Amino acid sequence: MSTYHFIGIGGAGMSGIARIMLSRGYTVTGSDAKESSVVEALRAHGAHVFIGHDGSHVEGADTVVVSSAIRHTNPEIVRAEELGIPVIHRSDALATLMEGKRTIAIAGTHGKTTTTSMTTVALQAAGKDPSFAIGGQLSKTGTNAHAGSGDVFIAEADESDGSFLKYRPEVGVITNAEADHLDHYGSWERVREAFVEFGSHVGNMGGTLIVCADDKGAASIGREAREQGTNVILYGESDIADARVNASTHGQGVSVSIAFEGQEYAFDIALPGTYNALNATAAFLSARAVGGDPQGIIQGLESFTGTRRRFELRGIEKGVRVYDDYAHHPTEVTALLTAAKKVVDPSNKVHVIFQPHLFTRTKNFYREFARALSLADDVIVLDVFPAREDPIPGVTGELIAREVTSDVTYVPAFSDAVPTVVERVKPGDIVLTVGAGDVTILGPELLGALAQ
């Protein structure tokens, strides 16, 4: 068996692929910037993981795997090229693992992780043992990947760098499609072209493309794919949907009814928001398309407890509920806060600690972020989490904060966020830590501060 070395092995996407390779008998090494529970779990499965990056780490590897977040100047990439070791993108490694499987690839600007997770749990409950690779961890099991014994492989298909176009799925899902990742694409038109090409791959495989009819961008792509001869199922509350959805909120969950092909399927999910009802519908249709028993699928969806960092309840202290969410696009923030307003008593407040992710995204969408955040009662905006980018002059969290119309405070010092919130909350309020960066660590810190 070959030896694969993963640079940044602790990342959500990379760790899942590494885990499956370990299960299939490959030798896996890797490096990451810091220790983490993910790194420890990979070691427990047999991976040799270095902390820090050094060219010597790749020596002995047959293939080096990288993500788009790894810069070409990384010493391990430099050394691999000197040694003539092939360097491949993680999507190429994932595509290799999909070979010989009936693949479900779930794409979309938002909702991919939750929908992929729901589909996985649904098929497991239907008696299948699918392989899966998710860009987040299932709340119940804490895992993001598995090498199953069944013939189905479920994958979250990341559009951010165009790598989802390397997959050839039997079932493809587009939860929505709108402008994002403009640092890669440059324009909405190019984003749309990529999703159209994704749909064509499904059509070329003689597969089924499942598309949200309620999203303007996705619906137009679905209609175009249908005109080109692809088998398309449109789902949603829209009149044009083939699978018509009716969703009603109850407490912190949603009742879902799907009318499709002369049958009606009804179930409850334990997650708030109409957007999660749509995600559950996409999961239902995907699982059904590969032969899952509808009743088993429904049992799985009703048992689904969520994905970490997706409206995840981190704890309750002094009557204050603290949630964490990965939302990092204005549409995601809007959906999140709309759902949050429905699970809090009208006499209480929704507080948000928001950390913008990427300088380019902040520059492109700061007004839209401000409009979305204004749905909350009290907003704290942190500075930008840079991820893979260099700073852009004048682009900070303050750019967003200046446009927010509800109570807002720009807090450039990360350590000041929790003390600021503690002074403002009261029993019955909810607090959300929101963003794709390290804002997630503030949830436990806030709970600790409230307990004092």
What residues are designated binding site for ATP? 108-114
**Whether residue 34 lies in the annotated active site:** no
Catalytic residue among 156, 159, 170, 332: 156
**Whether residue 156 lies in the annotated active site:** yes
Residue ranges of the binding site: 108-114
**Whether residue 302 lies in the annotated active site:** no
Identity of the amino acid at 175: T
Task: Give 217-226 contacts, CB < 8 A, sequence gap 24+.
Answer: 217/109, 217/176, 217/177, 217/178, 217/192, 218/108, 218/174, 218/175, 218/176, 218/177, 220/192, 221/174, 221/177, 221/192, 221/195, 221/196, 222/174, 224/196, 224/199, 225/196, 225/199, 225/200
Q: Which H or E element spans position 334? A: helix 330-342
Dihedral over alpha carbons 313, 406, 335, 38 (to 10 degrees)? -40
Residue 408, phi then psi, degrees to nearest 5:
-140, 145
Edge to edge, what strands does the sheet with 243-250 contain?
145-146, 131-133, 152-156, 102-107, 171-174, 208-212, 231-236, 243-250, 253-260, 263-269
Catalytic residue among 101, 112, 128, 349: 112
* Residue 251 burial (CB count, 10 A): 9
Identity of the amino acid at 309: R
Cβ–Cβ < 8 Å for 380, 420? yes
Catalytic residue among 113, 120, 208, 396: 113
- Separation of alpha carbons 64 and 54, rounded Å: 13
> Residue 186: CB partners within 8 Å, gap ≥ 6?
none
- What's the gap between Cα 83 and its chain centre? 35
Cβ–Cβ < 8 Å for 26, 45? no
- Separation of alpha carbons 163 and 167, rounded Å: 8
Cβ–Cβ < 8 Å for 151, 171? no
Task: Give 49's strand partners.
Answer: 30
Catalytic machinery residues = 112-113, 156
